Amino acid sequence: MKLLIELPTWLGDTVMATPAIDNLIGHYNEPKITLIGSSISTEILKNHPYVVKTYILNRNYKELYKTANELSYFDVFISFRSSIRSRFMKFFVSSEKKYQFFHNNYQNHHQVEKYNDFINDSLNTNYLAGRLNFHWKSSFTYKHLTLGINPGSSFGSAKRWYPKEFAKVAINLSNQYDIIIFGDSKETQIANDIEKLLIEGGVKNYQNLSGNTSISELINLISKLDLFITCDSGPMHLAATFQVPTVTIFGPTKDSETSQWMNQNSVIVKKNLNCQPCMKRRCPLKHHQCMSMIKAEDVSKAIYNLDLKDEK
């Protein structure tokens, strides 16, 4: 059985699709899988034992057509994307059966359940969504208890908590934990702002890795953390995969749909304002109170609700 799977574009969505993909694999009994998707999504799942090949898709329609023609025949094509480009790709892919996810058909559930419902509807099955799993093994370890902080979010500024509040929490924990600041190349400014505040607070046991990690390195580093403080983001879902104790700060997005999946050692901090969730990239009311009202003390209190190690 040969399967072609088009993955979601974003890191977090790809991770949340893994229970559905596992059910798909179980249904077809050890299929040979070809993955197509973004460089981020294919990197996450390239080590899956049933993946035989990966293709990074170009956004250009001419290149998409070229890639579709390069692909061989598949028994089943599954796309976890709703875009016009994905519909274009689906039209030219050579496959007996083709299924495509349309987000408007799946509402008011966790994103993991949406993807899993899509697979059940496509296959006429009733599989439950299991744990997040992308079959990643790492021998990496930290010498000391390590706190990761992830202040950025690719969705937009509305999801971001404030550098001074992140720094306050990190400074308070710096006697117990080494600290790593995460972020992609677009989030170096907020990471640098936190770093400056840590230095002013006398903290020396930190690393600012914003913009300096590959996806593989990011996975390895997050997988072995002892504590993670983050906004709603892709790295948040990586932490859930490895059951890392996590405090997530939610503002404009729906925690009922994008919170950590099946991580029992996870706490959400949010204010439950009337304007939440607005699902906007920038605060439409110009006050950003869903984030500005959350203080370092709120996050520190949430940490006490987690089951944490005392030492390494």
- Alpha-carbon separation of residue 217 from 43, 138, 168, 214, 289 (angstroms): 11, 10, 26, 5, 34
Whether the Cβ atoms of residue 25 and residue 33 lie closer than 8 Å to each other: yes
Of 89, 123, 157, which closes a domain? 123
Q: What single string gives the DSSP state of each residue in 77-127? A: EEE---SHHHHHHHHHS-EEEEEE--GGGS-SS-HHHHHHHHHHHHHT--P
Angle at 186 between CA 182 and CA 191, to 5 degrees: 40
pLDDT for residue 289: 96
Task: Look at residue 261 and tell me if it is in a domain.
Answer: yes
Q: Do residue 69 and residue 202 come from a single domain?
A: no
Q: Are residues 295 and 157 in the same domain?
A: yes
Confidence check: pLDDT of 8 > 90 = yes
Asked which of 58-67, 196-205, 294-303 is least confident by mean pLDDT, the reply is: 58-67
Alpha carbon distance 54, 160 (integer Å): 33
Q: How far apart are CA 68 and CA 92, in angstroms?
A: 6
What's the start-to-end Cα distance of the chain, in Å?
46
Residue 82 tokens, joined: 């709703």
Same domain, 211 and 282: yes
Same domain, 195 and 266: yes
**Residue 139 counted as domain residue:** no
Kindly state whether residues 229 and 273 are assigned to the same domain.
yes
Question: Looking at residue 259, what is its pLDDT?
Answer: 98
- Residue 311 maps to a domain: no
pLDDT confidence of residue 155: 65
pLDDT at 138: 85
- Mean pLDDT, the chain, whole residue set: 95
pLDDT tens for 113-167 read 999 999 999 999 999 999 999 999 888 899 999 999 999 876 667 888 999 999 9
Neighbours of 186 (CB within 10 A): 11
Domain membership flag for residue 42: yes
Residues 99 and 194 in one domain: no
Number of domains present in the structure of the chain = 2
pLDDT band at residue 253 using 50, 70 and 90 as cut-offs: very high
In this structure, which amino acid lies at residue 282? R
Model pLDDT, residue 101: 98
| Residues 150 and 295 occupy one common structural domain | yes
Q: What is the pLDDT of residue 157?
A: 79
Is 278 buried (19+), middle (13-18) or exposed (0-12) by CB count in 10 A? middle
Instruction: State the CATH number of the domain containing residue 252.
Output: 3.40.50.2000
Phi/psi at 171 (nearest 5 deg)? -60, -40
Q: Is 132 inside a domain boundary?
A: no
Is the same domain home to 154 and 299?
A: yes
Could you tell me if residue 54 is inside a domain? Answer: yes
Question: Per-residue pLDDT tens for 12-51?
Answer: 999 999 999 999 999 998 899 999 999 999 999 999 999 9
pLDDT over 70, % of the chain:
99
Assess whether 116 and 171 both reside in one domain. no
Query: In sequence order, what are the residues at sequence separation of 6 or more whose Cβ sits closer than 8 angstroms to the Cβ of residue 113?
Result: 129
In a domain? residue 19? yes
Q: Which of 73, 92, 123 is the last residue of a domain?
A: 123
Dump pLDDT digits (tens) for 258-307. Answer: 999 999 999 999 999 999 999 999 999 999 999 999 999 999 999 999 99
What's the 3-state SS for 186-223?
A: CCHHHHHHHHHHHHHCCCCCEEECCCCCCHHHHHHHHH
Domain holding 235, by residue range, is: 146-303
Residue 36 belongs to some domain of the structure: yes
**202 band by pLDDT with thresholds 50, 70 and 90:** very high
239: Cβ–Cβ under 8 A, 6 or more apart, which residues? 148, 222, 225, 228, 230, 246, 260, 263
Question: Does residue 118 share a domain with residue 150?
Answer: no
Q: Residue 180: which H helix or E strand, with range?
A: strand 178-181
Instruction: For residue 156, give Cα distances in angstroms to 31, 151, 191, 215, 231.
Output: 38, 12, 15, 20, 11
> Is 177 found in the same domain as 89?
no
Distance CA 35, CA 41 (A): 9
Q: How far is CA 3 from CA 52, 56, 69, 120, 218, in A?
A: 10, 16, 16, 16, 28
**How far is residue 63's CA from residue 225's CA, in Å, rounded to a whole number?**
40
Does one domain contain both 171 and 282?
A: yes
Task: Evaluate whether 36 touches 57 at the Cβ level (below 8 Å).
Answer: yes
